Amino acid sequence: MNKYEILKHYFGYAEFREGQERMIDSILAGKDTLGIMPTGAGKSLCYQIPALMMDGITLVISPLISLMKDQVGALNQAGIHAAYLNSSLTVGQYYKALAFAKEGRYPIIYVAPERLVTEEFLDFALHAKISMVAVDEAHCVSQWGQDFRPSYLKIVEFIEKLPVRPVISAFTATATQEVKEDIIDILMLQNPTVTTTGFNRPNLYFSVQSPKDKYETVKTCLLQHPNDSGIIYCLTRKLTEEVCEKLIRDGFSATRYHAGLRDEERQNNQDDFIYDRCRIMVATNAFGMGIDKSNVRYVIHYNMPKNMESYYQEAGRAGRDGEPAECVLLYAGQDVITNQFFIDNNQDNEELDEITRQMVMERDRERLKKMTFYCFTNDCLRDYILRYFGEYGSGYCGNCSNCLTQFETVDVTEEAKAIIGCVAGCRQRYGVTVIIDTVHGANTAKIRNYRMNENPFYGSLAKTPTHRLRRIFNELQLQEYLTVTNDEYAIVRLTEKSGNGLPDDWTMQMKMAKEAEKQEKVSAAKKSGRGKASAAGELTAGQQTLFEALRSLRAELARAEKVPPYIVFSDKTLTHMCLVKPKTKEQMLTVTGVGEFKFEKYGERFLQVLEEYALAVSESR
Ligand code: ADP
Ligand code: MG
Ligand code: ZN
């Protein structure tokens, strides 16, 4: 079979996505290949398809047991023989799998890196024909990345022992230059074909909100997704526990995950989520690496994370199937303080020498600042993200909360002058809250103690609501008229632009959301489908009913096979089925994600449900 036939036959897809073909061709031409593509772009197919076309075995190196299990499960479901070798197997199972591997049963074998240079495995590998070593999550070789794994360094050691050097391919979603260079150097890729696809994920809707009551906002969002799976990230274990408990009490199907739980409980909770037994996962950032669940329809950040890298990685766990999904960040000033605390008390830094430690802290504070500015900006959020990662955006994506909000340009010269004047008048000694309270004219003990009631600007903006003052303050930071020190005191300082006084004719304009319209616009745009965030969102009411029927059949089949439902068919496949409404095998095979093998296994059952639905509809007419 050629690559197109394999794509259709085993995976049920009609065409390749951006970058896939180039990487497959490069591997088939015997060249080392490095693929840098965002989460959900479809990196796995780039090594799986050539693996099926080359004679000999492809070894896939993957960092996590859960990832291997998932991928091997998906391959077996598609009718491809694959196995994994890692510490989750008993000794007996391990030797059995090795024996099958020796017989040449598996074109694809997933191996944990620490297994590679063990005696048993080498004994097998040295006598087998290894045609490719594919390194998944290749950024794990780099100490620059967040997921450095020393065991990944064994990969090169292993390759050097092989009698013939196989093709080496490597894949990651991490785009920074340091990591890319590390991968090439450390894995010793020879003149590799490097393919980088854009980092944009058009199916993700981005939104930032600063609600008074975060929990209520979360509930509203969950009610808009009554049947969908989603993740809620919290900054601390304590908050994770709290939010999860409240949700359960309010009748939501939620579970939790953080490093403070016992291994067994963590594993169970993760499985409940992956197998759709529980819809909502409340977790710290310990959760997610290696979660390939494709039908996560929303990721809510209950707190602002520490940097844009973390944010995009975590938010990017939504919508891997390419269907609409929602990424909501709930910002509060306290999040900055909590993150600042983590930076100042980072245990990982303790081994570093003092100069390096200071440098790392400085870098982390800078990153935190860029993250904070993401929450402040009134421009397109997607643009902000893409620019952060070194790409250009179009200025307007039409699928983020800023693009969908009606702004008006307002003149804030008077307010801005008062705030800057207030900072200058207190000799740059206080934090944001004190400054805002002063210009607003708050009559608190703190203000009197600091004698800020004697500041010339005390009460000069008494009529402006404090939330508006905060917006203007944030804008002054964005435009670099004010800066906040990067230490625990977070003191407001003047900058080069403002330090020597402002010119007489100085003015300042900024975009402000038209308050009353804001919510309505966003929800109206969502209803009209632009910001839709449910896989079934584009379906009519009748089709939704059908979707639910197909979904429950999928759940039943998944339970019987002991695999996660999305491995039977993705949400995207079910949605497409509702639109195509196939009646025959031929028609069913045109549905995206339905290949020959899966059709043999499940096709008739799904056709039956479709037929029952068609009958019910015609009878009701
Ligand atoms: P990555 O490893 O890059 O994060 P995956 O390999 O896990 O992404 O693929 C994400 C999803 O995209 C999977 O559900 C996969 O089946 C699907 N996919 C991959 N390639 C295609 C394609 N050419 N057409 C449609 N869907 C695809
Ligand atoms: Mg992957
Ligand atoms: Zn936008």
As to burial, measured by CB atoms within 10 angstroms (0-12 exposed, 13-18 middle, 19+ buried), residue 360 is middle
Task: Place 522 in a pLDDT band, splitting at 50, 70 and 90.
Answer: low
CA of 460 relative to ligand 1 center, distance in Å: 57
Torsion angle (degrees, nearest 10) of CA 135, 139, 143, 147: -100
pLDDT tens profile 150-178: 899 999 999 999 999 999 999 998 777 88
Task: Verify whether ligand 1 is closer than 6 Å to residue 313 (CB atom).
Answer: no
Predicted confidence band at 14 (pLDDT cuts at 50, 70, 90)? very high
Give the distance (Å) from ligand 3 centre to CA of residue 395.
Answer: 7
Domain coordinates in residue numbering, the chain: 3-196, 204-388, 407-513, 541-620
> Looking at domain 407-513, which of 1.10.10.10, 3.40.630.30, 3.40.50.300, 1.10.357.10 is its CATH number?
1.10.10.10
Q: pLDDT of 263-278, one tens digit each?
A: 999 999 999 999 999 9
Question: 187 with 113: CB under 8 angstroms?
Answer: no
Cα 39 to ligand 1 centroid, rounded to whole Å? 9
pLDDT digits (tens, 9 = 90+) for 353-392: 888 788 888 888 989 999 999 999 999 999 999 988 878 7
DSSP H or E stretch at residue 327: strand 325-330
The yes-or-no answer to whether 204-388 and 407-513 have a common fold is: no
According to the model, what pLDDT value does residue 595 have?
94
CA of 136 relative to ligand 2 center, distance in Å: 7
Q: pLDDT at residue 504 above 80?
A: yes
**Is 134's C-beta closer than 6 angstroms to any atom of ligand 1?**
no
pLDDT band for 524, please (50, 70, 90 cuts).
Answer: very low
- Confidence band for 217, pLDDT divided at 50, 70 and 90: very high
3-196 is classed in which CATH architecture? 3-Layer(aba) Sandwich (3.40)
Q: Which ligand is nearest to the CA of 206?
A: 3
In sign, the C-alpha dihedral spanning 523, 528, 530, 531 is positive
Does pLDDT of 198 surpass 60? yes
Q: What is the number of the ligand 1 atom nearest to the C-alpha of 592?
A: 25
In this structure, the dihedral spanned by the alpha carbons of residues 251, 234, 140 and 11, taken in order and rounded to 10 degrees, is 30
The angle subtended at Cα 84 by Cα 79 and Cα 85, nearest 5°, is 160
Cα(71) to centroid of ligand 2, in Å? 9
Out of 6, 11, 576, mutate this one to test ligand 1's pocket (max ligand atoms within 8 Å of CB): namely 11
Q: Rank 120-134, 488-502, 509-523 by mean pLDDT and report only the highest.
A: 120-134
CATH class of 204-388: alpha beta
**Best mutation site among 7, 10, 17, 575 for ligand 1 pocket (most ligand atoms within 8 Å of CB):** 17
pLDDT digits (tens, 9 = 90+) for 387-406: 888 787 788 989 999 998 88
pLDDT tens digits for range 322-348: 899 999 999 999 999 999 999 988 777
Is 572 near ligand 1, meaning CB less than 6 Å away? no
Rounded Cα gap, residues 584 and 74, in angstroms: 25
pLDDT of residue 521: 46
Q: How many angstroms does the Cα of residue 384 sit away from the middle of ligand 1?
A: 25
Ligand 1 pocket test: pick from 4, 6, 34, 44 the residue with the most ligand atoms within 8 Å of its Cβ. Answer: 44
pLDDT classification of 523: cutoffs 50, 70, 90:
low
User: What is the predicted pLDDT for the residue at 515?
Assistant: 65
| CATH architecture classification, 541-620 | Orthogonal Bundle (1.10)
Q: 97-101, 315-319, 540-544, 565-569: which has the minimum mean pLDDT?
A: 540-544
The per-residue pLDDT for 300 is 98
Report, in this order, helix, strand and coil percent for the chain, each rounded to 5: 50, 15, 35
- 609 close to 549: Cβ distance less than 8 angstroms: yes
Stretch 451-471: mean pLDDT, rounded? 92
Q: What is the pLDDT of residue 530?
A: 41
Tokens of 267: 């594993």
Q: Which ligand is nearest to the CA of 380?
A: 3
Nearest CA to ligand 1 atom 17: 42
Backbone angles phi, psi at 181, to 5 degrees: -65, -40
User: Which ligand ends up closest to the CA of 569?
Assistant: 1
Average pLDDT for residues 410-437, to the nearest whole number? 93
How far is the centre of ligand 1, averaged over its atoms, from the C-alpha of 41 (Å)? 6
Query: To 10 degrees, the CA torsion angle through 523, 529, 532, 536?
Result: 130
Structure tokens at 442: 């708050």
- The number of the ligand 1 atom at minimal distance from the alpha carbon of 292 is 7
Whether ligand 1 lies within 6 angstroms of the CB of 575 is answered as: no
Query: In which band, very low, low, confident or very high, does the pLDDT at 529 lie, cut at 50, 70 and 90?
Result: very low
Q: Average per-residue pLDDT in the chain? A: 91
Please give the pLDDT value at position 353. Answer: 81
CB of 321 closer than 6 A to ligand 1? yes
Per-residue pLDDT of 282-308, as tens digits, reads: 999 999 876 788 899 999 999 999 999
